[in-house]
């Protein structure tokens, strides 16, 4: 959906320099930009390349103000963020018709908002609640008593077990399994067999969370597993039972988090990180890809990068290597 540059400036709270009536039809990389595209420059060293591109306009920082430019500019302190926000206006989210497909199976006791959309072969079990404008993709299975808030988007074949709650504007990508039993067993020391420990808790997912494809998040054993608002999970992330993940945490692909861990707000966890049970990751900690955190370990240091197995501050890790 094309927009004038002036409209994009207002939407992103950027300062406009140049012709605000230019029509912008899309966003692009500097290398692939065509007339009608908007590009961004995060650092001054890439500005000349952007100016020489075919893009119609550039989002940049204050460093671009004094440059001799024939292209209109949007000036902002966070060019990449403004670029992402502009893309929301240029590529509005897909909307779905408010209907329940004829092949979907919805229990009579389920409460489905009139504006919700349920696609083919989805199953919604007893007493589930589906919020306004929420989309349930093909083949999804929504368990008994599950609560899904407004404006959520579930891609095909998502499975949500009973006792799970999703907040507002949650996105769940294909194949994710939410609220399954945790890995909890008690060994019989006499016979060597394992007895399943009760897995009767809940999973609570906050507002604006995005969960990648094929993620698995266990419900609590006796209490709750909690995913805080604004947190983003990449594909194939596993979170064990009773774990608490704070707000605005990002976790990259193939990370495994054991049960009863605490991950505080704004932590950043790289790909293929392993975290042992009862570990605590404090606010703002950064765990580099492939790091390992031992059970019951407390990792603290806001903005500090940790690396290695076991994880330690990057400066210490590099010195040892």
Q: What is the pLDDT along the chain (321 residues), one digit of tens a residue?
A: 899 999 999 999 999 999 999 999 999 999 999 999 999 999 999 999 999 999 999 999 999 998 887 899 999 999 999 999 999 999 998 889 999 999 999 999 999 999 999 999 999 999 999 999 999 999 999 999 999 999 999 999 999 999 999 999 999 999 999 999 999 999 999 999 999 999 999 999 999 999 999 999 999 999 999 999 999 999 999 999 999 999 999 999 999 999 999 999 999 999 999 999 999 999 999 999 999 999 999 999 999 999 999 999 998 988 888
Q: Give the closest residue to 60 by CA, choosing from 48, 43, 45.
A: 43
Is residue 121 annotated as part of the catalytic site, yes or no? no
Instruction: Yes or no: say if 159 and 141 are a contact pair by the CB < 8 Å rule.
Output: yes
Active-site residue (options: 121, 241, 278, 296): 241
Do the bridges between strand 23-24 and strand 3-4 make them parallel or antiparallel, or are there none, so unpaired?
Answer: antiparallel
Secondary structure (3-state) at 137: coil
What pTM value is reported for the model? 0.93
């Amino acid at each position: 959906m094309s927009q004038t540059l002036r409209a994009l400036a207002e939407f992103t709270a950027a300062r406009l320099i140049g012709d605000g009536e230019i029509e912008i039809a899309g966003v692009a990389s500097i290398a692939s930009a065509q007339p009608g595209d908007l590009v961004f420059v995060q650092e001054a060293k890439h500005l000349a390349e952007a100016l020489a591109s075919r893009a119609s306009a550039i989002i940049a920082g204050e460093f671009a103000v004094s440059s001799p430019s024939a292209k209109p500019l949007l000036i902002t302190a966070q060019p990449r963020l403004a670029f992402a926000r502009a893309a929301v206006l240029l590529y509005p989210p897909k909307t779905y018709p408010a209907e329940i497909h004829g092949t979907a199976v919805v229990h009579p006791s389920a409460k489905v908002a009139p504006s919700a959309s349920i696609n083919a072969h989805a199953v919604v079990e007893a007493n589930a609640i589906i919020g306004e404008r929420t989309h349930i993709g093909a083949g999804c299975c929504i368990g008994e008593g599950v609560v899904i808030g407004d404006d959520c988007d579930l891609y095909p074949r998502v499975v949500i077990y009973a006792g799970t709650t999703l907040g507002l504007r949650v996105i769940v990508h294909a194949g994710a399994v939410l609220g399954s039993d945790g890995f909890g067993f008690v060994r019989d020391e006499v016979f060597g067999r394992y007895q399943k420990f009760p897995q009767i808790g809940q999973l609570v997912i906050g507002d604006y969370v995005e969960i990648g494809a094929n993620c698995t998040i266990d419900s609590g054993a006796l209490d709750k597993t909690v995913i805080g608002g604004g947190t983003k999970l990449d594909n194939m992330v596993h979170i064990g039972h009773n774990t608490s993940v704070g707000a605005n945490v990002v976790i990259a692909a193939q990370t495994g988090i054991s049960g009863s861990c605490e991950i505080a707000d704004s932590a950043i966890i790289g790909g293929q990180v392993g975290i042992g049970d009862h570990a605590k990751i404090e606010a703002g900690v950064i765990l580099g890809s492939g790091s390992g955190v031992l059970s019951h370990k407390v990792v603290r240091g806001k903005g500090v990068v940790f690396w290695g197995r076991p994880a330690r501050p990057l400066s210490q890790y590099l010195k040892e290597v």
